[in-house]
Amino acid sequence: MASFLVEGGHQLTGEITPQGAKNEALQVICATLLTAEEVKISNIPEILDVANLLDLLRQMGVRVDKLSKGEYVFCADRIDENYVGSEEFASQCAKLRGSVMLTGPLLARFHKATLAKPGGDNIGTRRLDTHLRGLAALGAKFEVNENSDTCHITAEKIKGTYILLDEASVTGTANIIMAAAMGEGVTTIYNAACEPYLQQLCRMLVGMGAKIEGIASNLLTITGAKVLHGTTHTILPDMIEVGSFIGMAAILGGGITIKNTSPRNLGIIPETFKRLGIRLRIKNNDIIVPKQNHYQIETFIDGSIMTISDSPWPGLTPDLLSVLIVTATQANGTVLFHQKMFESRLFFVDKLISMGAQIILCDPHRAVVVGHNHKFHLKARRMVSPDIRAGIALLIAAMSADGTSRIDNVEQIDRGYSEISERLNKLGTKIIRID
């Protein structure tokens, strides 16, 4: 188990460029299974979750060639169908959350797939009902093996239909889109997720020959194609990294420029940080966060306490609430955070409390943060990273604390952030990795 030793109190200055979006990468890499032709994808983040998915694809028989850093060519012309139906495959899928999005492409192209209960973060319930009900509506049949937590799925034909999703699940929507892209007839998905990741997936599929209408909305119409062909695709910058860097810049920044952020795809993320009193400006594709000694949390127009909550796109992504909570600890004022989508994601705040943060954990979904206004700093502690986003939040807290903190289980951070210690050290931090 790897650890970070973090010496707190160092100011950050300079420029940093976000990696490619993790969530988009997992989707579009899975989509390469829909064609036997070559697919070239650029700006793939060099992170653990992606590396594990690439290894899984190679085991399935997909040719994966690395052209340069972040640039790969995929060719799924020789899939080992026996391996895909094996217990070993199911076991490998169970270790990786993103493996759930292999189901739609495999079902569309090979008419069978194995769905294992996926791994990943322990942040609360992440049910698969949306996936299964959507695929069932397209004609899939299921055989559940309760002993191994696997589900074998078959579909003689993928037939287009009208689907009203019970929740706007990002991965569920992605699976249904990929299955429908090679189905017969027209599929209409209402209450579809419409995050930039989904928009990018749809654009890539259109480039492969699919016909998709309503991109960027919650009503998608997909006309199935018999065959999809190769294409090229470039992944967006990771909005969660952009938000993480804004939070770091607010707490520790002596002036930071975040390069190539694709602001039009950030939604309300910049405005949410502005609600915490953080000054930032957008210049072309860059976000500039100037040095700011104090930042004042806003109140609502009627004077009531600011509430920040997550919701499906175009609302605030839940992946950034952890960072926003840490950022608020050094603001001036009070803010209520309401984590609606995952019931275990706020449990990391007890570590912030032990560092001296003034936080009231009301219940699994709500936390009130009373900002210190930089009047006193957090205290160094030894901590364990419970998941990707809590891990980066704890890293930010340790960077702002007095003394040297130790964060264990940083492999969780590695799953979502590429070479984060090396990149931050170039800005002035002092982070030592212990493997």
Largest CA distance in the chain: 66
3 state SS of 343: coil
Q: Is 121 a catalytic residue?
A: yes
Q: What kind and span of H or E run contains 369?
A: strand 366-370
Burial 192-205 (b: 16+ CB within 10 A, else e): bbbbbbbbbbbbbb
Q: The tokens of 144 are what?
A: 């559940």
Handedness of CA 237, 238, 239, 245 (dihedral sign): negative
Contact assessment for residue 292 and residue 255, using Cβ atoms and an 8 Å cutoff: no
Contact assessment for residue 185 and residue 211, using Cβ atoms and an 8 Å cutoff: no
Radius of gyration of the CA atoms of the chain, in A: 22
Contacts of residue 111, defined as CB under 8 A and 6 or more positions apart, other chains included, come to: 154, 155, 156, 157
Contact assessment for residue 344 and residue 389, using Cβ atoms and an 8 Å cutoff: no
Question: How far is it, in rounded angstroms, from Cα 161 to Cα 158?
Answer: 9
What are 402's strand-pairing partners?
379
pLDDT along the chain (435 residues), means of 10: 93 96 96 97 95 95 96 96 85 83 94 74 56 92 78 90 94 96 96 96 98 97 96 98 96 93 96 96 96 93 94 93 96 95 80 95 93 91 90 95 95 92 96 94
Contact assessment for residue 152 and residue 143, using Cβ atoms and an 8 Å cutoff: yes
Question: How far is it, in rounded angstroms, from Cα 181 to Cα 105?
Answer: 9
Contact assessment for residue 212 and residue 225, using Cβ atoms and an 8 Å cutoff: no
Catalytic residue among 55, 65, 77, 121: 121
Question: Which amino acid does the sequence have at 11?
Answer: Q
What's the confidence (pLDDT) of residue 181?
Answer: 97
Q: What angle do CA 26, 108, 118 make, to 5 degrees?
A: 40
Kindly state the DSSP code that residue 303 receives in the 8-state scheme.
Answer: S
Q: What are phi and psi of 410, to 5 degrees?
A: -75, -5
- With the CA atoms of 23, 29, 31 and 33 taken in that order, what torsion angle do they form, in degrees rounded to the nearest 10? -150
Contact assessment for residue 236 and residue 265, using Cβ atoms and an 8 Å cutoff: yes
Q: Which of 225, 211, 210, 132 is nearest to 171 (CA)?
A: 132
Burial of 67 (0-12, 13-18, 19+ CB in 10 A): exposed
Question: Which amino acid does the sequence have at 327?
Answer: T
Question: How far is it, in rounded angstroms, from Cα 138 to Cα 182?
Answer: 11
DSSP E strands, 191-300: 211-213, 219-223, 231-234, 253-258, 281-283, 286-289
Question: How far is it, in rounded angstroms, from Cα 130 to Cα 169?
Answer: 7
Could you tell me the domains of the chain? 3-19+237-434 (3.65.10.10), 22-234 (3.65.10.10)
What's the confidence (pLDDT) of residue 184?
Answer: 94
Q: Which of 18, 13, 16, 1 is nearest to 417 (CA)?
A: 18
What's the confidence (pLDDT) of residue 125?
Answer: 43
Q: Which residue has the tokens 């986003």?
A: 389
Kindly state the DSSP code that residue 105 receives in the 8-state scheme.
Answer: H
Output the CA–CA distances (angstroms, integers) from residue 147 to 93, 114, 394, in the order listed: 16, 14, 37
What's the confidence (pLDDT) of residue 91?
Answer: 83
Q: Which of 51, 106, 96, 98 is nearest to 76 (CA)?
A: 106
